[in-house]
């Protein structure tokens, strides 16, 4: 859906006559409280995007020989998913109260969070309790994956990389 | 939920340990990567896909994207005690405060957004 939507809006703007060569910068905003799960092929697939095919052809199901291409999970759970309730309670209790957690990090615990998919390798570390109790993470069999907030997703498609991937490559 | 220590400008070691049950905090921090705190900076240039397919200028900069609520509150000239009610998929009440005041309403988890955006506004002003 994300891939098709981005191509669709850009295609319609092109058909309407927008001269993209005059665009000096792109930014955006969107709902934050939702997650997208990257697969371990995401970095490679994003770096190899070709203009003669669509995003979904190159990042979607089957791309790179992966079941879900650049993604490790077919769905994008949003804030209505409550499968990480126990982790939320652990975070709210970490500093003694949700208020203090908010003081330190700017936010008390939310169901959909960075915790839903902790990067793990199949061969090394044991599956954490977070993954045991997070249905989405278990289904995804997360392997070196990381999840992204909805609002950050397009910011990765446009440059074709994620900031930490770029730094790690050096 | 955040793992970022706003006051120190870095990932919070204790929360990374909590998130990974002390089995991979360093690995997680590496994958989360550095956080550009300048919301107006450039993340890089647009990639070749968009240049070839849509005719973007290769020099087109990509600035950080953000959440809808932080962008709403930053885009409007909100004065102290002003408030915004946003009716959407997650109905929110946005207000600028001098600090974080956490008040959770029963069944309204999105209420925390108010504090979150207020804090962002507060720390970047």
CATH for A155:
3.30.420.40
Residue A20 lies in a domain: no
Residue A24 lies in a domain: no
The confidence score (pLDDT) of residue B89 equals 65
A29/B67 CB distance under 8 A: yes
Q: How many CB atoms lie within 10 A of CB B40?
A: 9
pLDDT < 70 positions in chain A: 32-33, 112-151, 162-170
How big is chain B by its Cα radius of gyration, in Å?
Answer: 18
The confidence score (pLDDT) of residue A42 equals 84
CA B123 to chain centre: 12
Chain A contact for B15 (CB, 8 A cutoff): yes
Q: In the numeric block, which tokens belong to residue B124?
A: 């970047």
**pLDDT tens per residue across span A49-78:** 999 999 999 999 999 898 889 887 787 777
Residue span of the structural domain in which A134 resides: 31-169
The confidence score (pLDDT) of residue B121 equals 36
Listed in sequence order, the DSSP H helices in chain A are 2-15, 42-47, 55-59, 85-94, 98-105, 129-133, 135-140, 150-157, 163-169
Question: What is the nearest CA distance from B83 to chain A, expressed in angstroms?
Answer: 19
Residue A164 lies in a domain: yes
C-beta of residue A105 within 8 angstroms of C-beta of residue B2: yes
Beta bridge pairs of residue B61:
A25, B45
Among all chains, which residue has been given the structure tokens 């879900």?
A: A68
Number of domains chain A is built from: 1
pLDDT < 70 positions in chain B: 1, 88-90, 99-125
Q: In the numeric block, which tokens belong to residue B78?
A: 């909100």
Which residues from chain B sit within 8 angstroms of residue A126, using beta carbons?
A: 23
- Which residue of chain B comes nearest to A145, CA vs CA? B31
Strands B66-67 and B83-86: unpaired
The confidence score (pLDDT) of residue A142 equals 36
How far is the C-alpha of A165 from the C-alpha of B17, rounded, in Å? 22
Domains of chain B, residue spans: 1-35, 36-65, 66-125
């Amino acid at each position: 859906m994300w891939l098709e939507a981005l191509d669709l809006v850009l295609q319609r703007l092109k058909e309407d006559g927008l001269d993209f060569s005059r665009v000096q910068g792109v930014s955006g905003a969107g709902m934050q409280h939702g997650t997208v799960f990257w697969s371990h092929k995401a970095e490679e697939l994003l770096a190899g995007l070709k203009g003669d095919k669509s995003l979904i052809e190159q990042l979607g199901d089957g791309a790179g020989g992966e079941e879900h291409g650049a993604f490790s999970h077919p769905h994008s759970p949003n804030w209505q998913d409550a499968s990480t309730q126990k982790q939320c309670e652990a975070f709210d209790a970490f500093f003694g109260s949700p208020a203090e957690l908010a003081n330190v990090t700017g936010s008390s615990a939310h169901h959909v969070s960075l915790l839903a998919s902790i990067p793990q390798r199949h061969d090394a570390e044991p599956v954490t309790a977070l993954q045991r109790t997070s249905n989405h993470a278990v289904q995804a069999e997360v392997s070196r994956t990381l999840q992204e907030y909805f609002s950050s997703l397009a910011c990765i498609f446009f440059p074709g990389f994620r900031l930490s991937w770029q730094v790690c490559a050096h | 939920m955040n793992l970022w220590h706003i006051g120190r400008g870095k990932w919070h070691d204790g929360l990374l340990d909590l998130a990974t049950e002390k089995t991979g905090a360093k690995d997680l921090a590496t994958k989360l990567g550095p956080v550009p705190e300048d919301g107006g900076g450039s993340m890089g240039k647009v990639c070749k896909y968009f240049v070839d397919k849509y005719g973007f200028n290769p020099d087109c900069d990509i600035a950080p994207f953000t959440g809808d609520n932080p962008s709403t509150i930053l885009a409007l000239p909100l004065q102290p005690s002003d408030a915004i009610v946003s009716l959407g998929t997650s109905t929110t009440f946005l207000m600028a405060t001098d600090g974080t005041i956490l008040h959770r309403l029963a069944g309204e988890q999105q209420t925390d957004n108010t504090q979150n955006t207020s804090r962002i506004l507060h720390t970047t002003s």
